[in-house]
Homo-oligomer: A and B are copies of this chain.
Amino acid sequence: MLIAEPIDVPEWVNGLAIGVASLQGAIYASGFRDRKLDLFGVAVIGIATGLGGGFLRDILLNRLPIALTENWYILTALVAALLGMFLARIFRRIDWLITVLDALALGLFGALGTTAALVSGLPFVPALFVGVITAVGGGFIRDVLLNMPISVMHVGSLYAIAAAAGSIVLLGFNEANIGLEYSVPISVAVTTILRLLAVRFGWSLPEQRM
């Protein structure tokens, strides 16, 4: 097993993932017109969706959240959220593109979370746990703030499972001494493709049985 070194994901990739997630969150929130969210409320939902997973990751890893170390993280999430709110009607017409970008963001967040956990010295299972939380945490916080059932826990299209699969691939490759420069892109691809196939073919986990 390699000692993991922090990897450099290009900032624009990270920014794109945050932006897509925030956009998603704002479009989702804007669907509840009866809730009378104001501009601030939509901005909160957007920021929470885009940055919430990273906040949870860094709080769990007991370190200063990366999104607080530079101005552009919060600004990106904020601008994307406002864009999502004002142009929700347009974005809904290209929802296939949003779905694709969101699957990519899911994969990227998962890989970044898993990597950060490895760098912090966490063993396999906790690193997987942190990876999945990073990937789906933004949606969790979004739903708690909207006082809605948490969608990722309900019968759906393998959202969390896709994140877990990518994280397991990354962790397995790491045990096999394969460097992050190979395992991260493969992990992102596994999550993204599995998620998109699940959406396309309607795969889902069985409902809980009694």
Contact = CB atoms under 8 A, between A and B. Distances in A.
How many monomers of this protein are in the complex? 3
Nearest to A51: B129
Interface in A92-126: 117, 120, 122-126
Given A40-B152, A206-B38, A64 B61 contact: yes
A113 B75 CA distance: 19
A155 interface: yes
Given A61-B64, A70-B123, A71-B123, A154 B37 contact: yes
- Tell me the dominant secondary structure on chain A's binding face: helix
B126 A37 contact: no
A68 interface: yes
Interface stretch (A6-14, A16-24, A41-49): A41-49
Contacts of A40: 152-153, 160-161, 205
Nearest to A128: B74
A75 B125 contact: yes
A125 B45 contact: no
9 residue pairs, one from A and one from B, having the closest CB atoms:
A41-B153, A68-B126, A38-B205, A71-B125, A38-B155, A62-B64, A39-B205, A74-B125, A36-B155
Interface of A: 29-30, 33, 35-42, 44-45, 47, 55, 58-65, 67-71, 73-75, 85-86, 88-89, 117, 120, 122-126, 129-130, 140, 144-145, 147-150, 152-156, 160-161, 204-210
